[in-house]
A and B are shown apart, each in its own frame.
Chain A
Amino acid sequence: MTTTPLLDQAHPAVKGGLLLEVTNISRQTDSIVSITFADLAGGLLPAYVPGSHLVVQYGAGVNAYSLTGSGSTPFEYIISVLQVEDGAGGSQAMHRLSVGDLVQVSRPRSAFAPVANATHQLLVAAGIGITPVLSHARSAVEWGTATDLIYVHRPGAGAHVEEARELLGDGLTECSDRASFQKVLAESLTHQPLGTHLYVCGPAAFMDDVLDQAREHGWPAARLHSEAFGAAELDDGEPFAVNLTRSGTRLEVPAGVSLLEALENAGKSIPNMCRKGICGECSLSVLRGTPQHRDLYLTDQEKAENTTMMCCVSRSLDEELELDL
């Protein structure tokens, strides 16, 4: 596997990720394009769990997009992006990309994984929500898991429709209006074999509606899955400052940089092991201020005392913390 180190100005969310080249752009519909990324040397990219997303940097911002492949031995990552006129600008930046551009991306992150022991999958997608669900469908076909897909899209304006038809044949039901979808969904929720898991992706209101109906039909929560970007990762957090009383120094900790990293960058060596908030090695004494505890090490009671913090993951609720360091 060839992975090229990132340039210096990488956004924290794509740190430790990959620098990839745009190798293909294909228009799916009026407002959706598919963008293909590949390794600069044409090498194998990290495999990913079906339903994973990629964080892609554009200028100073980042956006997460679902990967549409099955995730086994990928030589390319393909995302599909809906142009949003009034969004933060990510989708417009993606739509401006052209072949040959270099883009910084994270490693694939999994937050919408298939359940291994499902005997049958019911996939439900609306609009651009097809992307992670297509990834599930491909993987299910590779491993022979029985799969049905209900796909709601405007007539003639569905992305990846041909691929879905080819993959699933009779397993695909396309709907182009609310009433027909309602009928198909109700039918499907009633007649699924035991051991079926439902995966839904689309606009938030659409997902809520599908999940509500499934629960009304008696589906247990453990068998319902919806895409929730980034739920599995810690967010960048707010910037804060630390005052090191013993050395009389003040340090800024920007968003996306851990306190441990900030201290290390300032030449302090802090004992650490896991850098994930579990081992307890990097504990620091807090003299003033309220830490935002994000570790798994301290007990609830210790966290409430606010005299100790794990600097590899925890941050500050106050603008400044005073540390015994």
Chain B
Amino acid sequence: MTTTIIDNELESGVLPERIRHFPFPFSGDSYRYSANVEPARKLVETEAGSWGSFLIDVDEFYLQDLRDRNEVLEKDPTRTQVLPHMRPAVWDAITTLLPAMAEENPDTMSYQRDGNACRWANALQNLELEFTVGDDDSLPMGPLQFLGSQIQDDIVFLDPREDTLWLDAGLVTFAADWSFGFDVGMKFMEVHAPVPRVNDEPVINRAHQFLLRLQPGEQYRRTNWTMTVDRRLDTSTETYPIWAPDRGTIAADPELPNRLHLRVEIQHLICLPHSGAVLFLIRSYLLPLTDIAKVPLWRERLGHVLAELPEDMAEYKGISRYRKAASSWLLNG
């Protein structure tokens, strides 16, 4: 066992930030769906550090992720859509998230609002601009795409009406094996129809009820996870032919521990204060198995979770062909 060395590394805090702030999602040796909802901005301590005190997390991949997003949007403009009635909700999101970012990053960002006139500065992008709430032309690329150029999260808007939630706007470039373009205009329950066990487990319905009862201003979050080959954020249905073949070959690849990433999504559920729409933010974190293995408890837990996961769930997550290989590297490698 080499854990002594690793323990020292843990204690002396030499682990890189991407590991120290990684939202490792497992608290035990097995995983099942649950409505693991908790208030936003709650700090969570992990074996390697902590995460979660920020609503919008800006990390070392900020500029790189936003460049990736821009490329995806240039190739495929269908990744963002806004049904006309969602315009107020988009502005509501801008005037909710930018001040939160400025508060959380006072050294690099600032936000002022006077009536509908706003001023935003983001030193990370060398950006300073003024815009008018409600005037779509006052932001260079339109409100939603502008918001998508400031935060690493994917953005989805759910409109509550007729006792259900409608996915009526969004900007999604980093989808994990789904298609925003396909889901837009659908109801929340329809979007989740392909999730296995959903009919047996009341989790999705419970989540639906929960979202419908959110009061404006309330902010919650939950985590979800899957795995991705390479540090590839865009694994959407649209680019399936590009990334899917790796799923079949990675098990035999000696590079597996470097290439295979645990992908954790922090999903924020924010009931916007003025429109009452539910903003669903999905922030994806990717960490290779070699990094996971630097934290002994993570190494073991992920190894056991992958080995134990029921086949239908592994199939749905798209990890069934390589999870055994990953698990044995983690547990015996």
Contacts and interface: CB of A to CB of B under 8 A. Distances in A.
A166 B276 CA distance: 27
A74 B160 CA distance: 23
Given A49-B274, A49-B275, A49-B276, A276 B217 contact: no
B113 interface: yes
Interface in A103-154: 107-110, 113, 115-118, 142-143
B215 A116 contact: no
Contact of A296 (B88, B115, B209): B209
Contacts of A202: none
A273 interface: yes
Interface in A8-22: none
Interface residues of A, number: 33
Interface string B85-99: 111110010010000
A52 B215 CA distance: 11
B115 to A, nearest CB: 7
B181 interface: no
B102 interface: no
B216 A108 contact: yes
Contacts, number: 95
B54 interface: no
A274 B218 CA distance: 12
Contacts of B159: 116-117
Contacts of A233: 215
A90 interface: no
Interface string B186-227: 000000000000000010001101100101110010000000
A47 B273 contact: yes
Nearest to A114: B276
B277 A116 contact: yes
Nearest to B273: A47
B75 interface: no
Interface stretch (B34-42, B139-147, B288-296, B299-307): B34-42
B38 A47 contact: no
A117 B210 contact: no
A222 interface: yes
A116 B216 contact: no
- 3 nearest CB pairs, A to B: A117-B85, A47-B273, A49-B276
Interface of A: 44, 46-49, 52, 71-73, 107-110, 113, 115-118, 142-143, 222, 232-233, 273-276, 278-280, 296-297, 299
